[in-house]
Amino acid sequence: MISVFVILLLSSITKFISISQSIRILQFRDPVLAPLLIKHSTAAAAIIELAVAVYMIMKRKQIVSLSICSWLVFVIVCYRWLDKTPFTRKYCNCFGGLLSWLGLPDYYERAIPIALLIYMGSGCVIFMIANIFSDKNEVIENQSGIH
């Protein structure tokens, strides 16, 4: 859970830094959320990620935190899926990307967010399942009088 907190925190900080840069892509309409500029949808995503990260670390209720994190991963996956459909506007790579200021090759700019998303999503699911099974074991132990 701490690693997901760190990923969300770093991701939101990266988004805030990206917004402050003069990247041309930020001036265009969001391909999925068309009424918004990419700059505004990125700011909204950064605020949501930061809020989820703070909630996870402050409340420390594992199953609730994992559920919220799973919801966030689901929303991000849906957004990315909608972005890849033929119905959304595509922009030239020449306008830059949100991570352009890092100076990474394009491959890494695309691969890093996907890898972190897979890590968060699979981790949330695995820990939720483990939490469910550990709760069942506690109930069985309590019912049988084993301590």
Q: Is the pLDDT of residue 48 over 70?
A: yes
**6: which residues sit within 8 A by CB, 6+ positions away?**
none
Q: Is the pLDDT of residue 1 over 70?
A: no
Q: In which element (H, E) is residue 20 found?
A: helix 2-20
Torsion of CA 107, 22, 86, 70, to 10 degrees: 70
Model confidence at 43, pLDDT cuts 50, 70, 90, reads: very high
Residue pLDDT, tens place only, 83-138 = 888 888 888 777 777 778 788 888 888 888 888 888 888 888 888 788 777 766 55
User: What pLDDT sits at residue 64?
Assistant: 78
Residue pLDDT, tens place only, 49-92 = 999 888 888 877 777 777 888 888 899 889 889 888 888 888 87
Q: Report angle CA 133, 134, 135 to the nearest 5 degrees.
A: 90
**57: which residues sit within 8 A by CB, 6+ positions away?**
2, 5
